[in-house]
Amino acid sequence: MLNSGISNIKVFACNSNKELAEAIVEKLGLKLGDCEVEKFSDGEISVKINETIRGADVFIIQSTSYPVNDNLMELLIMIDAMKRASAARITAVMPYYGYARQDRKARPRDPISAKLVANLLTSAGADRVLTMDLHCAQIQGFFDIPVDNLIGSPLLVNYYIDKYGDALEKDFVAVSPDLGSVTRVRKFAEKLNIPIAIIDKRRPKANVSEVMNIIGDIEGKRVILVDDMIDTAGTITNAANALKERGALDVSACCTHGVLSGPAMKRLEESAIEDLLVLDTIEMTEDKLIDKISVVSVADTFADAINFVHKGESISSLFD
């Protein structure tokens, strides 16, 4: 992918998603930089860079997924090491940006942890951040450095077009699992030329949701639930069960980030969701690769973005 005239680019990876990092550098026609990211016996993180990066355009691939704090510290220490080794520019490539849901004060005395993480990345020495589907797009404004927030929806859309083709327009409805996802679902539905429906829910406490009402016609339809992430899967499975009970023919679901923590896998197995599509922004461990789950890679998208950033070209085409 990279021109023969392009040089002085180096791509490194910490430990959160090595498989994705390997796929990205393969698309770029490069090899991962030589480094070691390990732990001392007391749990402190150790980073060793085993090649010169002086004057290089450095990209560090690391999703801050589970274990979130370990992965975040790995990234921060790696950035610091690169800065002290005189890298010309350091881009933090974060397919999944952890702490993004703590983006505002929902109650008195709440922290705004997404802003704190932005400050830490900048203070460590990052010159740019490359991520995908931030939970709240306004997080870009937390940074005083450039942030490219890639969109995962085109990959999801292409999957369903390839799978269902012309049947989409006559049989399917895209469903937003809550009011906050309506804009995302509307754009998804427009690409597939299908109608949308909305679930109005009440959340009595964290990670617990209760379906209240379904706005739109889903009876006798095949529905696709669309969200940016699925964590404990309470919202998405409650929504799927409610849709099925109220006349949906079958229920599929898709998301960019398959966090899938806590009781998520059990809930998915027992729910009305027949298949779940996720992108590989977070490593899918063996225990999560059940028959219901399909995975599409973001490697091509991030490889293109890294290439464009390195060459100083616009990456706006990747947002379509």
Write the DSSP assignment of 50-84 as a string of letters.
Answer: -S--TT-EEEEE----SSHHHHHHHHHHHHHHHHH
pLDDT at 4: 37
pLDDT at 208: 60
pLDDT at 200: 86
pLDDT at 320: 63
pLDDT at 207: 60
Q: Which of 201, 205, 221, 311 is catalytic?
A: 201
CA distance 20 to 94: 11
Torsion, CA 129, CA 132, CA 134, CA 135, rounded to 10:
-160
Q: Average pLDDT of the chain? A: 93
Torsion, CA 17, CA 20, CA 22, CA 25, rounded to 10:
-120
pTM: 0.93
Model confidence pLDDT, tens digit, residues 91-136: 999 999 999 999 889 889 999 999 999 999 999 999 999 999 999 8
CB 282 within 8 A of CB 95: yes
Q: How many percent of the chain have pLDDT more than 70?
A: 94
Is residue 292 among the annotated active site residues? no
Tell me the three state secondary structure of residue 144: coil
Q: Examine the pLDDT at 226 and tell me if it is beyond 90.
A: yes
Is 192 buried (19+), middle (13-18) or exposed (0-12) by CB count in 10 A?
A: middle
- φ, ψ of residue 259 in degrees (nearest 5): -65, -50
Q: Which domains does the chain have, with CATH numbers?
A: 9-151+299-319 (3.40.50.2020), 153-296 (3.40.50.2020)
CA distance 80 to 229: 29
Q: Examine the pLDDT at 1 and tell me if it is beyond 60.
A: no
Q: 249 Cβ partners below 8 Å, 6+ apart?
A: 171, 220, 221, 222, 223
Model confidence pLDDT, tens digit, residues 128-146: 999 999 998 889 999 999 9
